């Protein structure tokens, strides 16, 4: 092995090397979030990065209900008190502003110290995009109460109809009070290449938190592998090939997710129309009687039932902070695109993917499972 090859296999320094940091800076700059490369931190995946960010902030943590499955465990691992806040009817990912204020006041009255709010404008698990006016109200309420915001924007490049969807980052409204994170496996790199990046505000206080974050990543040994960093920097540069693949993937998910959504609604279940990502979040509460006849009475049993019937993971709402008794489930649309890499590639390239035999068959099987619950 030559010296150059050996150098490429070495891990990046804590927080990522200058090439990766500059690529991330440029990525956010093109989205109106301007800053210096020195305000970037990278890690091998969203979980160690979020763990480091929470560790760099003091106080209690607030997050919407439902929320990504990893958020609550990260806070618990650090021994931080964490509280769920209900989301508005229009979308998931952000807390209802009035519920947020009430939760902050209640926690303080009980002796807590709420200091950090996690949210996601383009949400996992609900696959919704929060309207700008609600984002503004929630962020203004949080900042007025002295909360720092971590905005998870992993799925922002997977919006199904970007021309019809207004996406507003909290960092555009409250630039000094928002740290933005993105797991690049959302749209830019394969899931097997773990890399996530964070963008810090350009303030002295944020510089201190950035340094603390790097210290924690160092202690964890959470370093991005050299080859992965090289690929991530290339993807963050968004050459034409990457942009084209992102566009085609979003268009494909628009059609497949809409078909899955129709099948869920046809059974009598409820679900917000999916607007981004590769899944939808369904509420099977209206089917409770029929499900009870099948021995399904909570989201854990619903997860087991649908995972078995669909032949693909269907995590229950309890994994995302919803109550166990609520019959909610996240349904992935990825398995509908094909069982092999060849079929998935064919789906991505097809002008009419729903007419492909393997996609049509998968959608029919998916719809049949829900039709049984009518």
User: Model confidence over 183-218: pLDDT tens digits?
Assistant: 999 889 988 889 999 999 999 999 999 999 999 999
Q: What is the pLDDT of residue 131?
A: 96
What mean pLDDT comes out for the span 161-169?
92
Q: What is the pLDDT of residue 190?
A: 86
Binned at pLDDT 50, 70 and 90, residue 8 comes out as: low
What mean pLDDT comes out for the span 158-177?
94
User: Model confidence over 326-346: pLDDT tens digits?
Assistant: 999 999 999 999 999 999 999
What mean pLDDT comes out for the span 157-168?
93
**Before 125, cis peptide (omega within 30)?**
yes
φ/ψ of residue 331, rounded to 5: -110, 120
User: Model confidence over 67-109: pLDDT tens digits?
Assistant: 999 999 999 999 999 999 999 999 999 999 999 999 999 999 9
Q: What is the DSSP string of 38-104?
A: GGEEEESSHHHHHHHHHHHS-SEEEEEES--TTHHHHHHHTT--EEEEEPPTT-SSS--HHHHHHHH
In this predicted structure, the answer to whether residue 3 has a pLDDT above a threshold of 50 is no
Q: In sequence order, which residues have a C-beta less than 8 Å from that of residue 31 and are 6 or more positions away?
A: 156, 169
| β-pair partners for 151 | 119, 180
Element of type H or E holding 151: strand 148-152
In this predicted structure, the answer to whether residue 4 has a pLDDT above a threshold of 80 is no
Give this prediction's pTM.
0.94
Check if the beta carbon of residue 84 is closer than 8 Å to that of residue 65.
yes
Share the mean pLDDT of the chain. 95
3 vs 117, 140, 142, CA distance in Å?
45, 52, 51
| β-pair partners for 198 | 41, 181
User: Model confidence over 30-62: pLDDT tens digits?
Assistant: 999 999 999 999 999 999 999 999 999 989 999
């Amino acid at each position: 092995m030559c010296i150059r090859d050996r150098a490429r296999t070495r891990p990046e320094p804590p927080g990522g090397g200058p090439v990766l940091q500059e690529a991330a800076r440029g990525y956010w700059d093109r989205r109106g979030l301007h800053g210096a490369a020195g305000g970037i931190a990278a890690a091998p995946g969203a979980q160690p990065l979020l763990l480091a960010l929470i560790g760099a902030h003091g106080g209690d943590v607030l997050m919407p209900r439902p929320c990504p499955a990893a958020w609550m465990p990260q806070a618990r691992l650090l021994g931080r008190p964490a509280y769920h806040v209900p989301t508005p009817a229009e979308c998931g990912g952000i807390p209802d502003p009035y519920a947020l204020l009430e939760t902050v006041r209640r926690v303080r009255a009980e002796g807590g110290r709420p200091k950090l709010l996690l949210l996601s404008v383009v949400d996992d698990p609900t696959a919704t995009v929060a309207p700008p006016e609600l984002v503004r109200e929630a962020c203004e309420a949080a900042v007025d109460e002295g909360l720092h915001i971590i905005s998870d924007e992993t799925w922002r490049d997977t919006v199904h109809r970007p021309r019809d969807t207004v996406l507003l980052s909290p960092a555009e409204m409250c630039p000094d009070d928002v740290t933005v994170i993105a797991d690049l496996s959302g749209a830019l790199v394969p899931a097997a290449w773990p890399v996530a990046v964070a963008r810090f505000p350009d303030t002295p206080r944020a510089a201190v938190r950035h340094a603390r974050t790097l210290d924690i990543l160092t202690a964890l040994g959470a370093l991005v592998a050299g080859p992965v960093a090289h690929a991530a920097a290339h993807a963050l540069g968004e050459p034409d090939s990457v942009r084209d693949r992102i566009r085609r993937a979003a268009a494909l998910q628009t059609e497949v997710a809409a078909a899955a959504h129709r099948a869920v609604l046809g059974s009598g279940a409820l679900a917000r129309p999916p607007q981004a990502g590769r899944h939808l979040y369904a509420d099977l509460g209206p089917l409770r009687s029929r499900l009870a006849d099948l021995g399904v009475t909570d989201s854990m049993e619903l997860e087991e039932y649908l995972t078995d019937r669909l032949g693909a993971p269907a995590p229950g709402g309890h994994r995302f902070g919803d109550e166990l008794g609520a019959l909610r489930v996240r349904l992935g649309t990825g398995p509908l695109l094909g069982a092999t890499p060849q079929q998935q590639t064919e789906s991505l390239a097809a002008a009419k993917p729903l007419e492909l035999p393997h996609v049509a068959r998968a959608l029919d099987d998916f719809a049949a499972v829900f039709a049984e619950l009518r």
